[in-house]
Amino acid sequence: MSWIAHCSEMNNLTSIVALHGLHLLLCLAVLWIVLGLAGMLQTRSTRFVAHFLFPLGAIVCLGVAILAGIFLATGHSPQIAILPLGLPNLPFHARLDTLSGFFLLLIGLAGAGISIFAAGYFRSGEGTAPGLLCLEYHVFLASMALVILADDAYFFMVAWETMALSSYFLVTAQHRIAEIRRAGFLYLLMAHVGALCLLLSFGALQGGRWQFTFDAMRSSSITPFWASAAFLLALLGFGAKAGLVPLHVWLPEAHPAAPSPVSAMMSGLMLSTAVYGMLRISFDILHIRYWWWGAVLLGVGLFSALFGAIFAAVQTDMKRLLAYSSIENIGIIFTGIGLAVLFDAAHLPLFAALALSAALIHTLNHSIFKSLLFLATGSVLHATNQRSLGKLGGLIRSMPWVATLALVGTLAIAGLPPLNGFVSEWLLLQSFLYTPQLPHAFLNMLIPLGAAVLALTAALAAYVMVKFYGVIFLGQHREPSLVHAQDADWLERIGLAWLALGCIVIGVVPQLVLRAAGTVTGTLLGQRVNLSSSFLWLAPIATKQASYSGLLLLAGLVVVVVITFVIVRVLAHGRLRRTVPWDCGYPWQTSRMQDTAEGFGQPIRHMFGSFFAMEVELPSPTDTAPRYRIHIEDRIWRALYLPIARAVQGLASWVGLLQGGRLPIYLLYSFLTLIALLGFVL
Amino acid sequence: MSAITMVRQFGEVLLAIAIAPLFAGWIAQCRAWLQSRTAPPLIQPYRMLRKLFSKDVALAADASPLFRVTPYILFGTMVLAAAIIPSIATDLPFARVADAIALIGLFATARVFQSLAAMDIGTAFGTMGARRDMMIGFLAEPALLMVLFNAFLLSGSTALPSVVEASTAHPFFVDPSLIFAAVAFVMILLAENARIPIDNPTTHLELTMIHEAMALEYSARHLALVEWAADLKLFNYACIGFALFLPRGIATHGKDGTAALGIAVLALLIKLILAGAALALIEALSAKLRIFRAPEYLAMAFLLAVLGLLVHLLLGT
């Protein structure tokens, strides 16, 4: 009986979502802003802000996820609303369709975990007051949701800029540290360069009709040249936000500077909005796709992925390492989008749907496991005050909760079955297998090598993550003070556990998210991958070609491990004694003899040396106080950014010549300008 | 029907668990013969396992639960892989749980756990072994993927049962690309299973160890499971090789009566005997490479696999 009641309740909810889903979502976004403003009532009260407002924000996140989930599950037609906001005659348009539904689901799911964690994380006395942080944090969340709901270029850009500004203030929460101010400035600069490109891209998209709603852009028939220009500008704009190489330089600076929940939001959620924008423009607004767009996306994506993985392997700061790992994952996602464009341009919609599903699911996965790991570094940072990997170690003994939950994230991001990271990488590799069917003689020989690059990246990611986890949590304490490290508090544990649960559930029952991604590809490409009837199996093309079952894999593993354990205990014995580790005949083992982060990166530096600009300082054998120092830098700084900076400075000094500093000269300028303008008019 | 297939599935797994140490013992015996030494008896690995299971575990004082659970996970993943790989018959319930790419992932899971466990105690050699093993892993994976790409182009599938059925349908057809892929696969097999020329399974010199360095802290039943898992991994790799390149004898769908299964077991044993002898010969003829020559070795395997791919695409079959 109660089951029937439950069913009818569900039906009610679905019909409400069918009618008012968009309005409800907009209300929830407003609710976030209200929560943020409420924080301003008592800016200094950590208890009110952290233990009351942030959990409420998490509940709103859950609400967003549930609404978006129901919308995707029922597969309703798009909903449109015109908001009474904005300029006269230029109101904001909002729209909810499957693509925005998918990304709202992502923001809701990951945001809920981050908000709960943030409730336990933010403390007073660290830079910006908690109440102000609460405002910035919730405006950031709301603006991300609005970016995804926006249906005209004006609203989109307003939300996009709000997102950039609110996150800038969050990054510079500890603004008294000069390094953090510098990182924040770099971030703001790159965000604005990107926004400028986006503005130009929208200008190209309107096709001379001066209509800036996405609906008008969809129906405008722009020439191939302007379509390509719009695509490339969008790639630059969204690439700057997503951190594609060479526009990635702000990422490894800004992510470590921000407080950990903010790093998690930026890396897990904000980068996803850039992926969303790229998909919105290239698959929804532009009605045509050329194969070379796909080749460009594929090349940039693969290079970013490899670049990120290689640089992550040599980092010695745990948050910088994760930032480079984000570049790697964004590269993987753009690789998937590139493949989808290639397949779509060649009229192979099924394979395009496969590649696009892989990209979408990887975006979702990345938002979950990257948030989890950033939050875990936050707990470690609070417990130890250390970000440098060289001063951590052995925390699995003093922080078992964080260590266990971070292990789930580590295995997931390393792309290991049966967790979620593996599912999307598997789908992407599957779609690579069909590239020989592309009708380009050269490309279909080159692209399989792309699969090898992807495999190399995935395996390097595993290397990076073994380093990350091993150096922080395993081994001996590298500093004596680490013995007293405190485990995370219960709110932080809930946040971490929520995200870890996400990693496991998506990994074990990937059909859930594949179904959601299927509704998106159904709208964008008119095709979805094959969903087997049973929830056990993942067979996107056909069972005969390839199948995978995360649940059976996990179940089989658990059963075999348990049986083995029982048999060993029954047939043999369980005797055990604790002793000192084996010392290889050399009795003084100290914690300094373990591999350091630098040591773990050494094979990578050796093999991929040409990627880095390295300075190594080795001690000579006669040094009384030997010192080893290594400094690794991006080559791109010197190759690209410094020349641009110099050019800008040179140009500025030329322009500076105009600045005479005397009033008559300026009046002369005004006079000459007026004369020139008159020449135009007459 | 399903009960019978379940019984067969169990039979396949138990056979794998039982003969994996024997396969390792057979290779050791062949190597001893080739080096003009007196060979240990074939059942030496079993004696070793029995001895280890009866000993008391000596566990480092601050070993975490991760360290203690890892041997079981290693053994579990390898047993699971043995259930998935069609070594005897293709029509088994577990065969579709993972395709070949997911199998690589499963092996990677085992490798990551073993590396993490090696870092857990925090001794110099353990972390060094972990770092080196992960390095070999990321070098081998692209090459292995290219080998699978070859198989996919020929049979249109990465699921091993489908690969076997596709190639047994044309028993006398050998695609030239397969030869390149097979050579690449053997090179990867040697690297992934810590054998000469990448690693020496019989070494006693810590500085050159990879796999042994990671197992240094293990003792008694934990060590037994780690070693047994290593034997199973070698056996599994051999069976993947058979499924890709020598599928003759494997009982396919519809032709898996008791007689066919008997033949399949017999064929597997013959293939293992020949493969073991061949591996021993390769190992006896080659010398261990310096660790930083390993990238060159695995790059060669990768290029061979790519060459196979190009041969296939250029011949346009």
Model pLDDT for residues A60-71, shown as the tens digit of each residue: 999 999 999 999
Beta-carbon contacts below 8 Å between A and B? 236
Give the lowest-confidence range in A138-142, A234-238, B129-133: B129-133
Q: Do A564 and B76 touch (CB under 8 A)?
A: yes
H-run or E-run covering B42: none
A532 vs B188: which has the higher pLDDT:
B188
Is the Cβ of A541 closer than 8 Å to some Cβ of chain B?
A: no
Partner residue opposite A426 with nearest CB, options B62, B102, B157: B102
- Residue B124 and residue A593: Cβ atoms within 8 Å? yes
CA A136 to chain centre: 19
CB contact under 8 A, A455 and B292: no
Give the gap in angstroms from C-alpha A148 to the nearest C-alpha of chain B: 34
Question: Which domain covers residue A519, as residue numbers?
Answer: 289-573
Long-range pairs for B50-53: beta carbons < 8 A, 24 or more residues apart: B52/B219, B52/B220, B52/B221, B52/B223, B52/B224, B52/B227, B53/A568, B53/A571, B53/A572, B53/B220, B53/B221, B53/B224
Q: How confident is the model at residue A5 (pLDDT cuts 50, 70, 90)?
A: low
**Residues sharing a CB contact under 8 Å with residue B270, sequence separation 6 or more, in sequence order:** none
Put simply, whether A536 touches B (Cβ < 8 Å) is: no
Confidence of residue A125 (pLDDT cuts 50, 70, 90): low
Q: How far off is chain B from A105, nearest CA to CA, in Å? A: 27
State whether A474 and B122 contact (CB < 8 Å): yes
Q: What is the mean pLDDT of chain A?
A: 89
Q: For the residues A475-486, what does the mean pLDDT come to?
A: 85
Question: How many structural domains is chain A composed of?
Answer: 2
Q: Which of A399, A416, A438 to substitute to test the interface with B, most B CBs within 10 Å?
A: A416
CA A384 – CA A361 distance, rounded (Å): 34
Q: Tell me if B157 and A546 make a contact (CB, 8 A cut-off).
A: yes
Please indicate, yes or no, if residue A367 is contained in any of the structural domains: yes
- Region B217-223 average pLDDT: 90
Say yes or no: A397 contacts chain B, CB-CB below 8 A.
yes
Task: Give me the residue from B53, B99, B135 closest to A546, CB to CB.
Answer: B99
Q: Are A665 and A545 in a shared domain?
A: no
- Residue B283's alpha-carbon distances to A185, A512, A563, B143, B294, in angstroms, are 58, 48, 36, 20, 15
Same domain, A614 and A547: no
- Across the range B51-73, mean pLDDT stands at 91
In angstroms, rounded to a whole number, what is the distance separating the alpha carbons of residues A226 and A210?
Answer: 14
Contact in structure between A551 and A536 (CB atoms under 8 Å)? yes
pLDDT for A1 equals 42
Closest-CA residue to B277 (of B64, B31, B20, B80): B31
Pick B219 or A232 by higher pLDDT. Answer: A232
Is any Cβ of chain B less than 8 angstroms from the Cβ of A455? yes
Decide if A429 and B101 are in contact by the 8 Å CB cutoff. Answer: yes
> Of A313, A377, A325, A364, which Cα lies nearest the Cα of A106?
A364
Q: Are A417 and A328 members of one domain?
A: yes
Cβ-nearest to A557 among B80, B99, B157 = B80
**Ranked by mean pLDDT, which of A608-612, B143-147, B198-202 comes out on top?**
B143-147
The reply to whether A572 touches chain B by the CB within 8 Å rule is: yes
Instruction: Say which range, A82-96, A118-132, A539-553, A643-657, has the weakest mean pLDDT.
Output: A118-132
Whether residue A593 lies inside any domain: the answer is no
CA distance B183 to chain A (A): 18
Answer yes or no: is A475 within a domain: yes
Cβ–Cβ gap A594/B122 under 8 Å? yes
Cβ distance A599 to B127 less than 8 Å, yes or no, reads yes
- Whether pLDDT at A7 is above 60: no
- The Cα of B305 is separated from the nearest Cα of chain A by a number of Å equal to 11
Query: Which residue would you say has higher pLDDT here, A637 or A364?
Result: A364
- Domain termination residue (choose one: A557, A573, A589): A573
Q: Quick check: A580 and B60 CB within 8 A? A: yes
CA nearest to A260, candidates A420, A345, A137? A137
The alpha-carbon gap from A535 to the nearest alpha carbon of chain B, in Å, equals 13
A74-80 long-range contacts, CB within 8 A, separation 24+: A74/A14, A74/A17, A74/A18, A75/A519, A75/A522, A76/A17, A76/A18, A76/A21, A79/A21, A79/A22, A80/A22, A80/A151
Mean pLDDT along residues B49-69 = 91
Amino acid at the residue A453:
V
The C-alpha torsion from B293 through B295 and B296 to B299, rounded to 10°, is 160
Let me know whether A568 and A623 are in one domain: no
Residue-wise pLDDT tens digits, B225-249: 999 999 999 999 999 999 999 888 8
pLDDT (mean) for A529-540? 77
Instruction: Please answer whether residues A451 and B149 qualify as being in contact, where contact means their C-beta atoms are separated by less than 8 angstroms.
Output: yes
For residue A176, how many other CB atoms are within 10 A of its CB?
8
Contact across the interface for A452 and B130, Cβ inside 8 Å: no
Q: Domain spans of chain B?
A: 2-315
Q: Is A554 on the interface with B (CB under 8 A)?
A: no
Count of alpha carbons within 13 angstroms of residue B291, beta-carbon side: 18
Instruction: Let me know if residue A119 belongs to a domain.
Output: no
Q: How much is the pLDDT for B210? A: 86
**B129, pLDDT greater than 60:** yes
Report the gap between the CA of A481 and the closest CA in chain B (Å).
17
For residue A465, list chain B residues with Cβ-Cβ distance below 8 A: 112
Chain B residues with CB under 8 Å of A570 CB are none
Q: A629 and A500: one domain? A: no
Are B123 and A593 an interchain contact pair (Cβ–Cβ within 8 Å)?
Answer: yes
CB-nearest to A579 from B61, B124, B130 is B61
Q: Are residues A614 and A490 in the same domain?
A: no
A433 in reach of chain B (CB within 8 A): yes
Residue A141 has pLDDT above 90, yes or no: yes
Residue A91 counted as domain residue: no
Task: Check whether B174 has a pLDDT greater than 80.
Answer: no
Q: Give me A585's structure tokens.
A: 């005949």
Residue B199: pLDDT band by 50, 70, 90 thresholds?
confident
Round to the nearest angstrom and report the end-to-end CA distance of chain A: 84
Q: How confident is the model at residue A10 (pLDDT cuts 50, 70, 90)?
A: low
Cross-chain Cβ contact A595/B149 below 8 Å: no
Q: How far is CA A168 from CA A150, A257, A286, A382, B122, in A?
A: 21, 11, 31, 22, 40
pLDDT at B168: 82
The reported pLDDT for the residue numbered A106 is: 94
pLDDT in tens, A185-199: 999 999 999 999 999
Q: Look at residue B152 and tell me whether its pLDDT is greater than 50.
A: yes
Chain-chain contact of A589 with B141 (C-beta, under 8 angstroms):
no
Residues from chain A contacting residue B9 (CB–CB below 8 Å): none
On whether both A432 and A479 belong to a single domain, the answer is yes
d(CA A96, CA A77): 9
| CA triple B27-B33-B34, angle to 5 deg | 90
Tell if the CB–CB gap between B221 and A572 is shorter than 8 Å.
yes
**A94: helix, coil or strand?**
strand
All residues of chain A having their beta carbon less than 8 Å from the beta carbon of residue B75 are 560-561, 564
- Nearest residue, CB atoms, A466 vs list B64, B134, B153: B134
Contact assignment for A475 to B130 by CB distance below 8 Å = no
pTM over 0.95: no
According to the model, what pLDDT value does residue A208 have?
Answer: 78
Are A312 and A432 within one domain? Answer: yes
* Overall average pLDDT of the A394-416 stretch: 93
* CB < 8 Å to B78, chain A: none
- Establish if A232 belongs to a structural domain: no
Q: Is residue A376 part of a domain?
A: yes
Chain A: closest CA distance from residue B39 (Å): 29
* Structure-token pair, residue A304: 């970013």
